[in-house]
């Protein structure tokens, strides 16, 4: 293990300041400072607030990660940082920090893709990634299906969200039900007391014509609107609103589409392994339904523990270590961020 690269990873694409340290595929530290409470009063992430929170949290988070790992900065073999996609201001804080560390230590710098990092983090939980694999990444900003032949070089988009990502829909429906931000965990808990069959909410992009043009794409905007209209009609009629039933039926509509399309992608691609990642991967119903459908389809499901599914520095370090081990070129010290970095660009040179 001592010959494996020691990599420090920095993640600042949204509202978590993450610093992780790995040695090869062994996780040594995963320090995260979240600014979610600062955004809660606005009902969503405010980019300027996120950027300032990263600036304030960064030094202490780096110090905590180094302390937890039992190393000093000069021990590190490489610095990895999220270069995109994400909020531009937030990304700039992370990359500026990584550039300064790389310059000060003389270590190589690896600017990495946020989505590919969500895939690479599974190396820390379950060892080498199966090749090929399909990855379902579900978060507040992304709902993506990817084919991963090599996480360091060959990642292909099969489908993506056309409007609201799944996590964004959870937040908006949560707000509609008067739940705190972020809505996902609260809806998950509320749904446990509800009947998922009580309301037949629509499944976006699952009609015959949709499946011809958007077989692996996602759309949750119509579902969000359907929930809002359902609530509005009952309120106008003076009827009681059953929050648990709404939460359960909405959640079922989301996870039904996600799991169905993910397993279909595995079949269509002839791939026997599915990876689940992103913040929404912590949803209990998604995990259960996806596991059931994977078993029925003969697909092996790999899911990192919840703490590694949300945005974190460990996933960035994991991808940086994979790039270093594979001999991929490091980034230029003046690397630029890209808020819309395409998933097939794993590393930024």
Claim to verify: residue 332 and residue 184 sit in the same structural domain: no
Total number of domains in the chain: 2
With 60 as the cut, is the pLDDT of residue 2 above it?
no
The percentage of residues in the chain with a pLDDT greater than 70, rounded to a whole number, is: 99
Are 33 and 113 members of one domain? yes
Q: What is the pLDDT of residues 278-313, one digit of tens each?
A: 999 999 999 999 999 999 999 999 999 999 999 999
Of 110, 103, 111, 155, give the one whose Cα is nearest residue 129. Answer: 155
Burial class (CB in 10 A: 0-12, 13-18, 19+), 43: middle
86 lies in a domain? yes
Terminal-to-terminal C-alpha distance of the chain: 28
Do 299 and 325 lie in a common domain? no
| Percent with pLDDT over 90 in the chain | 93
Q: What is the pLDDT of residue 152?
A: 98
Structural domain boundaries, residue 12: 6-121+312-348
pLDDT, tens digit (0-9, with 9 covering 90-100), for 233-249: 999 999 999 999 999 99
pTM of the predicted model as reported, rounded to 2 decimal places: 0.95
Q: What is the dihedral of CA 205, 207, 208, 214, to 10 degrees?
A: 0
Q: Pick from 152, 146, 121: which is nearest to 302 by CA?
A: 121
300 and 192 fall within a common domain: yes
Judge whether residue 39 has pLDDT over 90.
no
């Amino acid at each position: 293990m001592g010959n494996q690269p020691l990599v420090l990873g920095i993640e600042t694409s949204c509202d978590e300041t993450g610093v992780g340290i790995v040695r090869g595929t062994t996780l040594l530290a995963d320090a995260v400072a979240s600014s979610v409470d600062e955004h809660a009063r606005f009902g969503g992430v405010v980019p300027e607030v996120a950027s300032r929170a990263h600036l304030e949290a960064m030094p202490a988070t780096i110090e905590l990660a180094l302390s937890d790992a039992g190393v000093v900065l000069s021990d590190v073999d490489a610095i990895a940082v999220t270069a995109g996609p994400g909020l531009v201001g937030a990304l700039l804080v992370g990359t500026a920090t990584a550039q300064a560390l790389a310059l000060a230590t003389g270590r190589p710098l690896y600017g990495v893709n946020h989505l590919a990092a969500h895939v690479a983090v599974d190396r820390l939980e379950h060892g080498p990634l199966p090749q090929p694999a399909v990855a379902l990444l579900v978060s507040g900003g992304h709902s993506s299906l990817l084919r991963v032949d090599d996480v360091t070089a060959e990642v292909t988009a099969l489908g993506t969200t056309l409007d609201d990502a799944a996590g964004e829909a959870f937040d908006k429906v949560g707000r509609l039900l008067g739940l705190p931000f972020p809505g996902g965990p609260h809806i998950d808990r509320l749904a446990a007391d509800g009947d998922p069959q009580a309301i037949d909410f629509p499944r976006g992009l699952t009609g015959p014509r949709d499946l011809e043009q958007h077989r692996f794409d996602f759309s949750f905007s119509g579902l969000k609107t359907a929930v809002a209209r359902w609530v509005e009609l009952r309120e106008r009629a003076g009827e009681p609103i059953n929050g648990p039933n709404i939460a359960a039926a909405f959640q079922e509509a989301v996870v039904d589409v996600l799991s169905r399309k993910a397993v279909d992608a595995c079949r269509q691609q002839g791939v026997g392994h599915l990876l689940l990642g992103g913040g929404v991967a912590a949803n209990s119903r998604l995990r259960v339904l996806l596991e059931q459908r994977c078993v029925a389809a003969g697909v092996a499901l790999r899911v990192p523990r919840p703490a590694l599914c949300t945005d974190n520095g460990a996933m960035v370090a994991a991808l940086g270590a994979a790039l270093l081990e594979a001999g991929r070129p490091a980034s230029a010290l003046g690397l630029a961020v890209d808020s819309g970095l395409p998933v097939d660009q794993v590393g930024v040179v």
